Amino acid sequence: MVRSNIRNYGEVKVADSKSPPLNAHSDIELRLGADLVNLPIVRSVVATIATRADFDLDAIADLRLAVDEACSTLITRAIPGTTMRCSFTITDDELRFTGTVQSESDSSPSTRSFGWRVLTTLTDSVNSRVTSDGVLGHQIDIELAKRRVVVDA
């Protein structure tokens, strides 16, 4: 983890215990094997990002479940042994996630499935797309967004 609040005392660096908040337009990308055993890593990353971006506890739980469902859907469609790319973008009022895998299938995830219903319930927007990738078949993306709840003081 890179921290901007590190003090240098000779050869020893001491960091303050509190991590700086994520700023708007912070982009984070994670690449890992398209395998269900990696789901806990993605869930932990999105929860950490949402916490540092000052989302409330309900929104953090929604994001963990939604990203888990999106990644599960992508992994089951991925070519075995390939990589899943997860991108997280924080803007002033939302966290946007995009998951991408290479697939032999040219069909989008079904919008009539229970999993898709979970995604539409937990997020403010969700969509998928399939694009042709001449070498490896097709690229499948699922993009979702969750807005930060603003409470008037």
Supply the pLDDT for residue 25: 61
For tokens 């020893």, the residue is 12
Secondary structure of the chain as H, E, C letters: CCCCCEEEECCEEEECCCCCCCCCCEEEEEEEECCHHHHHHHHHHHHHHHHHCCCCHHHHHHHHHHHHHHHHHHHHHCCCCCEEEEEEEECCCEEEEEEEEEECCCCCCCCCCHHHHHHHHHCCEEEEEEEEECCCEEEEEEEEEEECCCCCC
Give residue-wise pLDDT tens across range 110-151. Answer: 999 999 999 999 999 999 999 987 777 899 999 999 999 877
* CATH C-level class of 25-147: alpha beta
Q: In the chain, which residues have pLDDT < 50?
A: 1-15
Number of C-beta neighbours around residue 78 at 10 A: 22
Domain boundary assignment for the chain: 25-147
The phi-psi region of residue 118 (left if phi > 0; otherwise alpha if psi is between -120 and 50; otherwise beta) is alpha
Rounded to an integer, what distance in angstroms lies between the CA atom of residue 105 and that of residue 138? 7
Supply the pLDDT for residue 149: 82
